[in-house]
Amino acid sequence: MNKLYRAAKGLFAAGVIAFVAVCILIWFVQEDILFQGTAVPENTVYQNLPNIEDLWLHRPDGARLHIAKVTAANETGTMLYFHGNAAYNAYLDGMVNIYGGMGYTVVGLDYRGFGKSRGERSEAAMLEDALAFYDKIVPAGAPPPLIVGRSLGATFATYVASKRPASRLVLYSPPGSILDAARRHYPWIPGF
């Protein structure tokens, strides 16, 4: 009985240590978990977007960010698009079909490590990138753009709309908060 108790105690201790180790690991890689970008070569041609104009945003830290612009035939305004966690500018065609049909020139930003964009990811840098994207596309004195965000992109869209003029803000499937999203995906981790 004493051997069985010691074995159970050792097994329990090993389980607790493993659980704590996994929690610590997740803490250190949380931004990598949150920003799971898919990178593609910079010379990739998006066949589904034949009228795409490739623009580049160069950041002070050396990051190079891809901007995809699809100009509407009868332009009535500009739409800035912030995609979700599992997307990049190749998936812009859905927004082009919807908003381009309403006369909006659709302009999408690929975050660091997403699509053709390169650069070290961090929440702070990516928020600053979102503002720089707005500033590059919307000249001073121009009519405010429509700002659209999907999922993770809703956080960037909301941030930009809180700092810069927008005609409207449209959010598709925004998380209530990053903590809500973490609780949904990792309910077994304390603190989420």
Q: Mean pLDDT, 10 residues at a time, over the chain (192 residues)?
A: 78 77 65 67 86 96 97 95 89 92 96 94 93 97 97 94 98 80 72 58
pLDDT at 14: 81
| pTM, full prediction | 0.80
pLDDT at position 34 is 61
Residue 70 forms beta bridges with which residues? 52, 106
End-to-end, the C-alpha distance of the chain in Å comes to: 38
Looking at residue 128, its pLDDT comes to: 98
The alpha carbon of residue 144 and the mean position of all alpha carbons in its chain are separated, in whole angstroms, by 22
Specify the pLDDT at position 30: 60
Task: List the one residue out of 142, 59, 72, 151 whose CA is nearest residue 107.
Answer: 72
Note the pLDDT of residue 157: 98
The pLDDT value recorded for residue 44 is 86
> Which of 176, 173, 183, 186 has its CA nearest to residue 85?
173
| CATH class of the domain whose range is 52-175 | alpha beta
In this prediction, residue 20 carries a pLDDT of: 72
Q: Is 16 exposed, middle or buried (0-12, 13-18, 19+ CB in 10 A)?
A: exposed
